[in-house]
Structure 1
Amino acid sequence: MQEFLVIIRGGKDPGLGSPQEMQEHLQHWQQWLGELMASGNYVAGQNLEPQGLTVLSNATVTDRPLAEGKELVAGYLVLRADNAAAAAELAKGCPGLPFGCTLEIRGIRQLH
């Protein structure tokens, strides 16, 4: 099995709904991640803060305010799967998809 980075981009903030809607959304995430863990496909993952810094090629560090939108990296997952197509099938269950997020699947190269 290979590891794949799933980059979660964009989407609407589900926290803008009612408390009940937010609770349901969190339950969907817990259920989906629980299934990935139980199957042995989940390796790691976290949400990311919207603010960040950028280190430029001349070693300058700048603030990088990130606007909400399709390019905002909201979080990531590391999944184990036989190939990229299998990782994409696992990713189809992501609870963020109905909120407009997109998922980028990238194989992780092992450095030897």
Structure 2
Amino acid sequence: MEEYLILMRLDILTKENQPSPEQLQIYMQQYQEWVNSIVAQKKFKSGTALSTEGKVIQSDHIITDGPYVETKESLAGFIMILANDFEDAANIAQNCPILMGEGNSVEVRKVVGIHKEKEH
């Protein structure tokens, strides 16, 4: 099995697109059920939500507030999973409840390590 990153993007800024507290509770329960199904398959590695604030550092070393400077869609969180291949990872990702929101998206990326830990 190989590691894959599932990136979850949604509009976390537009006030009218934000769920009510009741809706948020339902969405969190659906999300937890989805993650629990991945855990049950022994394919869950880790994951977390991300704050709405951030900084973007561009190649010219200019730092701006972000990451929402040019788009409303922001990276809301991610999970790392184990999967047999891209198709397996995509099948897991397509059940992400975030996809029930209009305009939301999920991206699947294979983790290819370039950094090696130093032995002590």
**TM beyond 0.5:** yes
Q: Secondary structure of 1:75's partner?
A: strand
TM-score, length of structure 2 as denominator length: 0.77
User: What residue number does 1:10 align with?
Assistant: 10
Which structure 2 residue ranges, 5 or more long, are not aligned? none
**1:65-104 maps to which residues of 2 (within 5 A)?**
66=68, 69=72, 71-100=73-102, 101-104=104-107
Which structure 1 residue ranges, 5 or more long, are not aligned? none
Q: Secondary structure of 1:43's partner?
A: strand
**What is the root-mean-square deviation of aligned Cα atoms in Å?**
2.3
Which residue type is aligned with residue 49 of structure 2? N
Q: 1:31 aligns with which of 24, 30, 33?
A: 33
Which residue type is aligned with residue 56 of structure 2? T
CA shift, 1:25, in A, is: 1.6
Residue correspondences, number: 110
CA shift, 1:58, in A, is: 3.6
Q: Is the 8 A contact 1:11 1:102 kept in 2?
A: no
Percent identity of equivalent pairs: 25
Paired with 2:105 and 2:65, the residues of 1 have a C-alpha distance of 25
Deviates more, 1:84-93 or 1:9-18: 9-18
Which residue type is aligned with residue 5 of structure 1? L
Paired with 1:25 and 1:64, the residues of 2 have a C-alpha distance of 25
Deviates more, 1:47-56 or 1:78-87: 47-56
Paired with 1:65 and 1:80, the residues of 2 have a C-alpha distance of 28
Paired with 2:3 and 2:21, the residues of 1 have a C-alpha distance of 36
